[in-house]
Structure 1
């Protein structure tokens, strides 16, 4: 019987302006949080599948969890973060202003970024493709804050709005939703609560 799906964002990353953002890795804090979660008792019991974006930071989050649960990691490249390659790395203040505009004008391509509405349709399609054939146990999706927020908005039946973002702190949060109804439950929670 299908159970709960959870969407987990990668935790803190090593910011490297000289490297393409999809190739960024977790930093020491992010790796430590993942390692602690992977070693925690009661980790995600009932989870039968783990699906990850192909971006390095997401895979570095998902792989230790899959190993801890004895599961094969499934990679879905189209689960990537919203495409921001048109601008590349932006300093934090400029990035935050762009992110505000991305959510505020969901049908527009802001300075070449993938529009929020298109990114939402893409992540929804990926989630649906995974869950359409899923019949037993819980599912963990591992991905990114931007598309994760867009997914949450869709499943919570809310308009696209940055107020539903996971908030500051560098990531490492999750929300759950019922697989059968596709309805989101609670909002974002820290990844450490996955082992409670």
Structure 2
């Protein structure tokens, strides 16, 4: 059986609202609804989510399709960027480049990539260790820590070369028995669903 790590799609950016409380934009909601209409979403047996609003909203739309409830996965939020707060898009992209390029170094007080990776790996592995492997599970979270998890599961160094595409709303799948990704980040509305492997 497979697990999925899913990043939330596009958000409604509001510099006056703390980033963890940003919700989905209308485009993000539409993409999540498209994913929820797919066969793979209806087959999910368990959903867990970061406690950030955008992830919870994504999980809620997927839960409607599967009939599953959503559990909050503590400590699975995006890398802590509260030291800088909102950064305009060009500045954010440059900061994200630094985050991945120098994973042991904090960018202006951000949680380091190494620390964020250790955190997300710890909570996801504990979740999967306690999970019934016969039940398909989706973990709904964020692109940054999702990429760090992808790198760990793939046995490769931290690198933004493995980051998701613009806009978010991507997933990667992994067999619960082997916990090694069987696909790269794929748009949630484009993924074809479970395959043998």
Which residue in 2 is equivalent to 1:182? Answer: 179
Q: Secondary structure at the match of 1:98?
A: helix
Whether contact under 8 Å (2:42, 2:65) holds in the other structure is no
Which residue in 2 is equivalent to 1:57? Answer: 54
1 CA distance for matches of 2:192 and 2:135?
17
What residue ranges of structure 1 are gaps of 5+ in the alignment? none
How much has 1:195 moved relative to structure 2? 5.8
Which residue in 2 is equivalent to 1:88? Answer: 85
The counterpart of 1:70, out of the listed 64, 67, 72, is: 67
2 CA distance for matches of 1:72 and 1:36?
19
Which residue in 2 is equivalent to 1:120? Answer: 117
2 CA distance for matches of 1:117 and 1:76?
20
Whether contact under 8 Å (1:8, 1:143) holds in the other structure is yes
Over aligned residues, Cα RMSD in angstroms?
1.3
How much has 1:67 moved relative to structure 2? 2.1
How much has 1:93 moved relative to structure 2? 1.0
1:130-171, CA deviations, whole angstroms, 9 ceiling, x for partnerless residues? Answer: 111112221101000000000000011110000000022x11
1 CA distance for matches of 2:110 and 2:38?
41
Q: Secondary structure at the match of 1:174?
A: strand
1:36-58, CA deviations, whole angstroms, 9 ceiling, x for partnerless residues? Answer: 222x2413354221010000000
2 CA distance for matches of 1:164 and 1:35?
26
- With over 3 angstroms needed to count, the CA separation of the structure-2 counterparts of 1:115 and 1:46, relative to structure 1, is same
- With over 3 angstroms needed to count, the CA separation of the structure-2 counterparts of 1:41 and 1:18, relative to structure 1, is closer
How much has 1:193 moved relative to structure 2? 2.8
What residue ranges of structure 2 are gaps of 5+ in the alignment? none
1 CA distance for matches of 2:38 and 2:165?
27
How many corresponding residue pairs?
192
